[in-house]
DNA sequence: CATGAATGAGTTTTCATTCAT
DNA sequence: GATGAATGAAAACTCATTCAT
């Protein structure tokens, strides 16, 4: 154990898979820190400890690279949710676990979230990727809501209503998550619980037929 | 008659205030269309039908210009909400009107909304401005929520809870607005009502003390 | 006349037309000197005594710029030929003048010739422009050949034969011109005369019906 | 039988000469397709089905490689002509065979021809190589022309005249070849015959002393 | 008041070339 | 013998910003 070779960090000639992952991680950090446009390939290469041509050789153009980041983080996010939801649990429990998974991801991967939400949502070429991701999440959430309504004795809800409610819920979650990402001292589980209550009680009332009516036109 | 003032159409030489407004409006459009970084001063000048040096002379650097846009649109948004809310109305009516005001602004000024909300891209030098403005909006919404709760007989809610709920509400509203924009056949008031219900019923239950509790962990 | 202002070369703020011409001329020189790919926009800007962004502002991309060069020099070449050919002259005289115009241009505008022939002929995006230019020249030459044949008592030649002969003649001329461009000491008129003889006598014999026949398959 | 030589298909580990030839052929194709500057060593290595370092190990730098291509194709072209010309044939027959050999090479090795001829792009470091090679070709053609003239009873022609005629002939041939490539329905031998006639009759007349004289200037 | 002309600095991207295995 | 990994250098193109008129 003693007098071993002074282990310099294994600098050069790593296998492709390793380097690619290093680059992706560096890219996520830099995109989150600067935003897509302000991020420079130079800075990303620096952050990855590699030269720029390697980034291009392995991951392609800046757009390709960003898309790869979005896909990676998107997949991680989805997995964070899906991993904890189990079909054999009661509906409310499913929703609760999904929310915790979501907020847990945001709390633990601020950078990934910034890439997905603050960078990609608005930008033309990537908006589609994000929309697709959000669509998949909405689908999952709508399914959970539907089962939840049935379970709590409601009549079967029309699908458009469920989808719209899911959009609202996902939007609310995104917004809260965004706030969470800027407040590291906040507790993700607390946010999850608050939103769960909001959602669960409101949705239950609403979908069970109680309605608020505007008193005037 | 000869040598009289050559009456070129008085297109140009507008008073400063008018020109500044033209520029700001053009800038809002371009920033919304492209995002801050991708927007070029050239395109903004073009959109305003004026030459670039004028933009610099009147509104200063690109950063200054963006800040001016944020302030203008933020003020407009706040006014859209405040203008329709009247303190002497019942709390739920206030919330309903506020929501419609908000929805109305987002629907009618998507560009302004994009500038205010979508540009929350992290560490730009004016991120503080945006954060402050979003803070003020959330504050207003939180205030409405709080009064609504009190009015409907709830106990006074803690402020962080209200703020978080306001974030959720704003996020839900934006998400629904996005969905609306993609579904022109849908009725905005229907969406507004659905969100109102969601909010009102959920908030009422929640803040009146009923709580959903996780059954485990 | 005396004590005039020491006329520093009028450096800056030239009107657009002048600057554009300066740039085009510089570009022709650099493209001729280095070839399309090896020519850098930096060097072109330097040669024009202007900064790179001006080149892009006025003439567009490197491709655009090159195309502009090709068009300018192509037009000049065509004009060099057309300007000296007069329809009321005998056919052989027309051909002779056309050849002299062609070789005269090449002798006087080596750079333009290099741009047209050595750079543009092979390169995919510009080959079409050159093909069109060559087509127009061939057309003119075929017309001259046709009238020449008629004038010297031949039967009317079939058009494909004329076109093919014109292609051969133009190709021959291009090749000789290319040689000429590399031998500044050579006399363009001498080359013109030699090719004229070659063409005129050969074409006359050929088109009057005399044929060389291979003795074996 | 166990532990015998693991018979991987003997694809790789070819002897050096074979590999070198593969590389040269690939390089010729790529240089012809893209031109010298636009051709990348990557594409050449790919086309040869080998890795880049091998190209460098066997054939040296890009310049070296191009020079090798020029030499190979030049030799092949010369051989195509020389192989079919036999000194004991009549002069016109020699010229005819030479022409057909030339045409045959250009038709069958357009890539080689492009490398040799179209890349005459001025001042590259190996312009000298190309010029030398073209010079040798022209020399051969000029020789044939000269012998043809003598054989048909003309006075000995001056060498510059022959050289210039050879340039014209080569240029005419290339131009016709280009035209042929665009008109697949045309008969190559027909074109060859037409050019032979053009050349033969014109040259005979010209070099036997008949001259066209400009009537003016 | 208003603008065409001009540029320094920085961005993405590519390429010939070389090591270490 | 053969190659995947790696890079320095340079090229095309853009942009915020400023004079001189």
pLDDT tens readout for residues B189-200: 787 788 887 777
pLDDT at C205 over 60: yes
D185-193 long-range contacts (CB < 8 A, ≥24 apart) are D188/D103, D188/D107, D189/D100, D191/C164, D191/D103, D192/D96, D192/D99, D192/D100, D192/D103, D193/C212, D193/C214
**CB D174 to CB C175 under 8 A?**
yes
Mean pLDDT (chain D, rounded): 80
How confident is residue C204, by pLDDT bands cut at 50, 70 and 90?
Answer: low
CA distance to B214, C112, C121, D206, per residue, from C165 (Å)? 93, 26, 20, 18
What is the Cα–Cα distance from C75 to A46, expressed in whole angstroms? Answer: 51
**CB C191 to CB D124 under 8 A?**
no
Q: How far is the CA of C67 from the C1' of F5 (A)?
A: 40
Q: How far is the CA of A46 from the C1' of F6 (A)?
A: 14
**CB A174 to CB B175 under 8 A?**
yes
B41 touches strand F (CB under 7 A): yes
Q: How far is the CA of B46 from the C1' of E6 (A)?
A: 19
**CB B168 to CB A165 under 8 A?**
no
Q: What is the pLDDT of residues D88-100, one digit of tens each?
A: 888 788 888 888 8
What is the nearest nucleotide to C54, using C1' and CA? E6
Please check whether residue C121 is in contact with residue C127, taking contact to mean a CB–CB distance below 8 angstroms: yes
Tokens of residue A143, six digits: 């399914």
Task: For residue A119, give the chain B residue with the closest CA.
Answer: B121
Section A145-166 average pLDDT: 74
What is the Cα–Cα distance from C76 to C69, expressed in whole angstroms? Answer: 11
pLDDT score of C190? 86
Residues 24-43 of chain C in contact with strand F via CB under 7 angstroms: 39-42
Consecutive H or E run containing A97 = helix A91-108
How confident is residue B85, by pLDDT bands cut at 50, 70 and 90?
Answer: confident
DSSP-H helix ranges across B10-61: 16-34, 41-48, 52-59
What is the Cα–Cα distance from D108 to D101, expressed in whole angstroms? Answer: 10
Choice among A19-33, A104-118, B58-72, C54-68 with the minimum mean pLDDT: A104-118
pLDDT at A25 over 90: yes
Higher pLDDT, B61 or C93: B61
D53-59 long-range contacts (CB < 8 A, ≥24 apart) are D54/D19, D54/D23, D55/D23, D58/D16, D58/D19, D58/D20, D58/D23, D59/D20, D59/D23, D59/D24, D59/D27
Among candidates D175, D211, D214 on the partner chain, residue whose Cβ is nearest the Cβ of C170: D175
Mean pLDDT (chain C, rounded): 83
Q: What is the dihedral of CA B16, B18, B20, B24, to 10 degrees?
A: 180
How confident is residue C6, by pLDDT bands cut at 50, 70 and 90?
Answer: very low
Chain E positions with an atom below 7 A of a protein C-beta are 1-21
Picking from D160, D167, D193 by the largest number of C CB atoms within 10 A of its own CB, the best residue to mutate is: D167
**CB A196 to CB B212 under 8 A?**
yes
For chains A and B, what is the number of CB pairs under 8 angstroms? Answer: 149
pLDDT score of B47? 94
How confident is residue A75, by pLDDT bands cut at 50, 70 and 90?
Answer: very high
Calculate the CA C8 to chain-centre distance. Answer: 36
Share of chain C above pLDDT 90, in %: 33
Mean pLDDT (chain B, rounded): 81
pLDDT at C9 over 50: no
Phi-psi bin for C35: left (phi > 0), alpha (psi -120 to 50), beta? Answer: left
* Nearest chain A Cα distance for residue B88, angstroms: 15
Three-state secondary structure of chain C:
CCCCCCCCCCCCCCCHHHHHHHHHHHHHHHHHHHCCCCCCHHHHHHHHCCCHHHHHHHHCCHHHHHHHHHHHHHHHHHHHHHCCCCCCCCHHHHHHHHHHHHHHHHHHCHHHHHHHHHHCCCCHHHHHHHHHHHHHHHHHHHHHHHHHHHHCCCCCCCHHHHHHHHHHHHHHHHHHHHHHHHCCCCCHHHHHHHHHHHHHHHHHHHHCCCCCCCCCC
Choice among B204-208, B212-216, C43-47, C155-159 with the minimum mean pLDDT: B204-208
C119 chain-D contacts, CB cut-off 8 A: 121
* Longest pairwise C-alpha distance within chain B: 95
What is the nearest nucleotide to C13, using C1' and CA? E5
D53 touches strand F (CB under 7 A): yes
3-state secondary structure of B12: coil
How confident is residue B123, by pLDDT bands cut at 50, 70 and 90?
Answer: low
C150: phi then psi, degrees, rounded to nearest 5: -55, -45
DSSP code, position D214:
-
Tokens of residue D210, six digits: 């008949």
Q: How far is the CA of D56 from the C1' of E18 (A)?
A: 10
pLDDT score of D25? 95
pLDDT at D6 over 50: no
Mean pLDDT (chain A, rounded): 83
**CB D35 to CB C37 under 8 A?**
yes
Section D182-207 average pLDDT: 75
What is the Cα–Cα distance from A64 to A216, expressed in whole angstroms? Answer: 52
Q: What is the dihedral of CA C173, C176, C179, C180, to 10 degrees?
A: -80
DSSP track, B102-161 = HHHHHHH-HHHHIIIIIT--SS-TTHHHHHHHHHHHHHHHHHHHHHHHHHTTPPPPPHHH
| Domains of chain B and CATH, by start | 14-60 (1.10.10.60), 70-207 (1.10.357.10)
CA distance to A41, B62, C212, per residue, from B71 (Å)? 33, 14, 89
pLDDT at C37 over 70: yes
Task: For residue A89, give the chain B residue with the closest CA.
Answer: B215
C61 touches strand F (CB under 7 A): yes
Among candidates B191, B199, B212 on the partner chain, residue whose Cβ is nearest the Cβ of A200: B212
Higher pLDDT, D140 or B201: D140
pLDDT score of A126? 86
D103 chain-C contacts, CB cut-off 8 A: none
Q: What is the pLDDT of residues C160-200, one digit of tens each?
A: 777 878 888 888 898 888 888 878 888 888 888 888 877 77
Please check whether residue C76 is in contact with residue D77, taking contact to mean a CB–CB distance below 8 angstroms: no
Phi-psi bin for A209: left (phi > 0), alpha (psi -120 to 50), beta? Answer: left
Consecutive H or E run containing D106 = helix D91-108
DSSP code, position A90:
-
How confident is residue A207, by pLDDT bands cut at 50, 70 and 90?
Answer: low
pLDDT at C8 over 50: no
Altogether, the residues listed in chain B come to a count of 217
pLDDT at A167 over 90: no
pLDDT at C15 over 60: yes
Share of chain A above pLDDT 90, in %: 33
Please check whether residue D94 is in contact with residue D84, taking contact to mean a CB–CB distance below 8 angstroms: no
Among candidates B37, B179, B202 on the partner chain, residue whose Cβ is nearest the Cβ of A201: B202
Task: For residue C198, give the chain D residue with the closest CA.
Answer: D202
Please check whether residue D147 is in contact with residue D162, taking contact to mean a CB–CB distance below 8 angstroms: no
pLDDT at B8 over 60: no
pLDDT score of A47? 95
What is the Cα–Cα distance from B192 to B104, expressed in whole angstroms? Answer: 10
What is the nearest nucleotide to B19, using C1' and CA? E1
pLDDT score of D208? 64
pLDDT score of C68? 95
Touching subunits of C (3+ CB pairs, under 8 Å) are D
Section A102-106 average pLDDT: 92
pLDDT score of D60? 94
* Nearest chain B Cα distance for residue A188, angstroms: 12
Higher pLDDT, A203 or D56: D56
Q: What is the pLDDT of residues B49-74, one digit of tens each?
A: 999 999 999 999 999 999 999 999 99
Choice among A71-85, A197-211, D38-52 with the minimum mean pLDDT: A197-211
Share of chain B above pLDDT 70, in %: 83
Higher pLDDT, D7 or A96: A96
pLDDT score of D122? 59
What is the Cα–Cα distance from A120 to A36, expressed in whole angstroms? Answer: 8
Residues 29-58 of chain B in contact with strand E via CB under 7 angstroms: 50-54, 57
Share of chain C above pLDDT 70, in %: 86
Q: What is the pLDDT of residues D151-161, one digit of tens each?
A: 766 666 677 77
Higher pLDDT, A152 or B91: B91
Q: What is the pLDDT of residues B161-217, one digit of tens each?
A: 788 888 888 888 888 888 877 787 877 778 778 888 777 776 666 666 667 777 765
Return the residue matching tokens 């329905």: D185
Residue among D128, D29, D116 at smallest CA distance from D74 = D116
pLDDT at A53 over 60: yes
What is the Cα–Cα distance from C84 to C86, expressed in whole angstroms? Answer: 6
pLDDT score of B206? 62
Of D1-10, D118-127, D170-179, D201-210, where does the model show the most confidence?
A: D170-179
pLDDT score of C132? 87
How confident is residue A156, by pLDDT bands cut at 50, 70 and 90?
Answer: low
D99 chain-C contacts, CB cut-off 8 A: none
Section A80-105 average pLDDT: 88
pLDDT at A9 over 50: no
pLDDT score of D200? 76
pLDDT score of D9? 42
* Nearest chain B Cα distance for residue A151, angstroms: 15
């Amino acid at each position: 154990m003693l007098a071993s070779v002074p282990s310099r960090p294994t600098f050069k000639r790593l296998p492709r898979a390793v380097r690619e992952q290093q680059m992706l991680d560096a890219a996520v950090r830099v995109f989150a820190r600067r935003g897509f446009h302000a991020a420079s390939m130079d800075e990303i290469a620096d952050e990855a400890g590699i030269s720029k041509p390697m980034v291009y050789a392995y991951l392609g153009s800046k757009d390709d690279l960003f898309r790869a980041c979005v896909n990676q983080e998107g997949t991680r996010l989805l997995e964070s949710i899906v991993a904890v939801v189990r079909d054999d649990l009661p509906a409310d429990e499913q929703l609760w676990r999904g929310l915790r998974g979501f907020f847990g991801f945001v709390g633990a991967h601020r950078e990934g979230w910034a890439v997905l939400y603050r960078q990609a949502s608005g930008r033309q070429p990537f908006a589609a990727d994000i929309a697709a991701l959000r669509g998949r999440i909405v689908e999952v959430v709508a399914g959970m809501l539907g089962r939840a309504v049935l379970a709590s004795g409601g009549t079967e809800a029309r699908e458009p209503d469920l989808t719209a409610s899911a959009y609202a819920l996902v939007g609310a979650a995104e917004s809260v998550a965004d706030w969470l990402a800027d407040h590291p001292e906040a507790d993700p589980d607390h946010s999850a619980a608050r939103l769960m209550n909001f959602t669960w009680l409101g949705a239950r009332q609403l979908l069970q037929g109680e309605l608020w009516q505007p008193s005037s036109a």
